[in-house]
Chain A
Amino acid sequence: MVVEIAPRDTLTEAEIDAIFQALADATRRDIVARVLVREQSVSTLAASYAMSFAAVQKHVAVLERAGIITKARRGREQIVHGNARTIESARGLLERYEELWRHRIARIDDLLSTEGDRHAHS
């Protein structure tokens, strides 16, 4: 019932933590929701919130570090895109549960083959 196994493929534990920490903030979730629908400049985003440009830029930086969004310079603007693939990977937690069962089955196999060896040698 405790799922603490590193996922098999794309994301490390640290990356998953970064993703969930990034998404634990309502403003950042809102930014993600917006840029997944359509790419937006940081200044357009900043205009949507009752906070400073610098504060919005900081939120964007947290999301970028977590790989949830990517930022590209276009002329004088910084354009933010959503990275749906990273978000999809975070949903791979079902696979983490699968990993737990792989571990259990490997343990059973170890137990049974240790016994098999003992019998073979006795």
Chain B
Amino acid sequence: MEERKLTCIGCPLGCLITVTIENNEITGITGNTCKRGEIYAGKEVTNPTRIVTSSVEVTGGTKPIVSVKTASDIPKGKIFEVMKSLKGITVAAPVRIKDVILADAAGTGVSIIATKNVEKIEIGD
């Protein structure tokens, strides 16, 4: 039997939730004070995921960098691998929101997309 303790993020209460796991199955969730806590804890223990945001360099743009994010959640354990996959990546302006910057980041199957528009620098600008 394994016990995992975590803080609920649902509200400022921050309930300390204990999840008991046996043979990879959740057998108990205690410490939460509402249903949201139970759902959160279940997900966080079996399949914790996060959106990762960062930026990459832009060439020929009105801004030096463009902000990006994973198009959907990625496994929490893959955060640093996804960040590493962005190292050294540059994109050419113009960049539009939702443009794919990197497909299948770090083998997650999730692409990295732009979250900001960056215009191309005009000659004489």
- Do A and B pair up? The answer is no
